[in-house]
Amino acid sequence: MKNVNTDHSENDYIESSKVKSVMSKMKSNSCFHDLAATFRAMSDPTRVKIIFALCQEKKLCVSDIASIIDSSKSATSHHLRTLRNMKLVKYNKVGKIAFYSLDDIHINNLFEEGLRHVEEK
């Protein structure tokens, strides 16, 4: 359901065709909320390091990730739980060991684009 501000008339728009075009493509508030939550989950430097590691090596266990990011297994597990709850990472158990990977290629693409953005500054 689109939330349209009805306080404006077409006379308020400088380029009404552009306004109408964007408004017709506007996503739901729920969609924007979920996107903001995804960026919030990725806003922690430790979680960014985890995502970076998983972009390099497709599957890593908690112990290996903890070593890579120089963190405890407990803290690493906590961050992985946050990323898992946001559907940014997933895990597969082999025996007693959980191997983590990115949830899908979109996460890799989002991360790589963000990394390119900050490295080009």
Task: Using alpha carbons, list the distances in angstroms from residue 15 to 8, 18, 24, 46.
Answer: 13, 6, 14, 44
Predicted local confidence at residue 2, as pLDDT: 45
Task: Using alpha carbons, list the distances in angstroms from residue 91 to 8, 25, 55, 109.
Answer: 48, 35, 14, 19
Q: Which parts of the chain sit beneath pLDDT 50?
A: 1-4
Q: What digits encode the pLDDT tens for the residues 58-72?
A: 999 999 999 999 999
Predicted local confidence at residue 109, as pLDDT: 95
Task: List domains and CATH numbers for the chain.
Answer: 35-119 (1.10.10.10)
Predicted local confidence at residue 14, as pLDDT: 84
Predicted local confidence at residue 12, as pLDDT: 72
Predicted local confidence at residue 121, as pLDDT: 76
Classify burial at 80, counting beta carbons within 10 Å of its beta carbon; exposed 0-12, middle 13-18, buried 19 or more. Answer: buried
Predicted local confidence at residue 15, as pLDDT: 86
Predicted local confidence at residue 22, as pLDDT: 93
